[in-house]
Amino acid sequence: MDLGIEGRVALVAGASRGIGRATALTLAREGADVYVLGRDTSRLEGVAAEVRALGRRAHAVAVDVADRAALRAALDGATPALGHPTLLVLSISAMFKAERFERLSDETVDQLLATDLGSAIDLCRFTLPAMFEAKHGRIVAVGSLAARTGTAGGVLYATTKAALEGLVRGIALEYSRRDVTANVVMAGFVETERLHERLAGDQRKREKLERATATRRLTSAQEVADTIAFLCSARAGATTGSVIELTAGAHLNCLW
């Protein structure tokens, strides 16, 4: 199926690994040129090289997304490389800090909100004007089942993921007549390096997550990337302001 992505320019935030990396490569296979954005220069350059190996152009943008001024400057400086992006994927590695809510320091709260939510708001603000000019835009944010269920030890993580849903719905209402769509992919338990780090080889914890799904397995990063690619496509113009549940059925647990 031709997704109508060929020749588009995508910006994938959080592209150094996991869902972001899989998405950058998937969009490249569909014919997009890709800005890969994140903090780890070495990893980003590796992903950019993989994109180029697929025959597409790539440019690595290493920046702390929590620093608004630095983010704006980095994007302005990168634009001559590929042109303005009209596909924006927000797969920023959320700063999940397992700590009791009342014990969070002011500095931690500010950093969590700036990284997990403020950066998404800024990236949308900074890229929307080019979408208006092109009369085409796609925004896809990677959300979380935690937005619905909450998560012990991660109150702000769940808060920011819930706020992402409000962000894309507002953008969808305001700008869909300009052919700018905005959606969330609600991810469940996804097989990524980050998850492996949190499990730390504990097979019992892994099996517990698998049992929490209807399919009795974890979702792959590629499955999430494929869904994001569709939402970035010309074929997804009627899908906007939506939350696409990609949880392997974990969201059904409350009904069992």
Mean local confidence (pLDDT), 10-38: 97
So what CATH class is 9-245? alpha beta
Two structure tokens written together for 188: 């469940």
d(CA 148, CA 1): 33
pLDDT of the residue at 97: 63
pTM of the complete model: 0.91
> Is the pLDDT assigned to residue 256 strictly greater than 50?
no
Mean local confidence (pLDDT), 186-191: 76
